[in-house]
Each structure stands twice: as structure tokens, then as C-alpha cells.
């Protein structure tokens, strides 16, 4: 079989076919509620994100703090709690030189090992 006539015919038809494709305008009608359905799907997907859940949980809690009295009371409670928790961890200060000598002294370490 001779492939050349097909190639020549195909190359001529390609230009005409391309032109037909450019001129063809097919409009596919979309349903009337298509756009609203798309936005509704986007809104539903966004409702299930972690940030949206956090906003739904924290919004009622933080809305209570909008008033100046509630905000002042919450600051006072937080500062009091911080001071109380900070005072729990106060240890007597050790002398730095004494702590160093105790850490490197073989006598202190051997005596500590005997008590175990």
C-alpha cells in the first residue's frame, strides 16, 4: 500500500479540520443553580476545617470578654495565677562556687554514693 496519498490528504485535511474546530462554538447549558451549588459545596467544605471548628468553639468564649469588666477580671485572674504558680517553684539560691566544688569533688560524690 502506498502511504503517501494518505499523508498528503491528511495534511490538507488537518488545516481544514483545525479551521472547523476554531469556528465551532458549542455552548453547553449549565443548570440554573450551578453557581450557587458550587459556592454551597465550598462553604460546606470550609465548615469542616480545623480553623472553622476552633472559631466556632472559641467565639462564644471570647465574646464574653468583650466587656471591660470581664476583660479586667480575666487579666487579674491570669496575673494572680501566674504569680501563684511562679512562687511555687522558688528554691533557695545556692552559692555557685560551692555548687561547682561539690560537683567536681571526688569526696562529695563518694559520700553521696554510700548513702544509696
Return the DSSP state at 49: S
The whole-angstrom separation of Cα 96 and Cα 102 is 10
Q: What is the pLDDT along the chain (116 residues), one digit of tens a residue?
A: 444 444 455 556 788 888 888 888 878 777 778 777 888 888 888 777 888 888 888 888 888 888 889 889 999 999 999 999 888 876 777 778 888 888 888 887 555 555 44
For residues 61 and 42, what is the distance between their CA atoms, to the nearest angstrom?
27
> Structure pTM?
0.33
Amino acid at each position: 500500500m502506498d502511504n503517501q496519498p494518505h499523508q498528503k490528504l491528511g495534511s490538507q485535511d488537518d488545516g481544514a479540520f483545525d479551521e472547523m474546530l476554531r469556528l465551532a462554538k458549542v455552548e453547553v447549558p449549565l443548570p440554573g443553580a450551578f453557581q450557587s451549588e458550587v459556592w454551597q459545596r465550598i462553604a460546606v467544605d470550609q465548615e469542616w476545617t480545623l480553623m472553622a471548628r476552633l472559631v466556632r468553639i472559641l467565639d462564644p468564649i471570647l465574646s464574653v470578654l468583650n466587656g471591660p469588666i470581664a476583660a479586667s477580671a480575666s487579666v487579674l485572674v491570669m496575673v494572680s495565677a501566674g504569680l501563684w504558680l511562679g512562687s511555687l517553684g522558688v528554691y533557695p539560691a545556692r552559692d555557685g562556687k560551692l555548687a561547682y566544688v561539690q560537683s567536681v569533688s571526688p569526696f562529695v560524690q563518694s559520700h553521696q554514693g554510700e548513702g544509696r
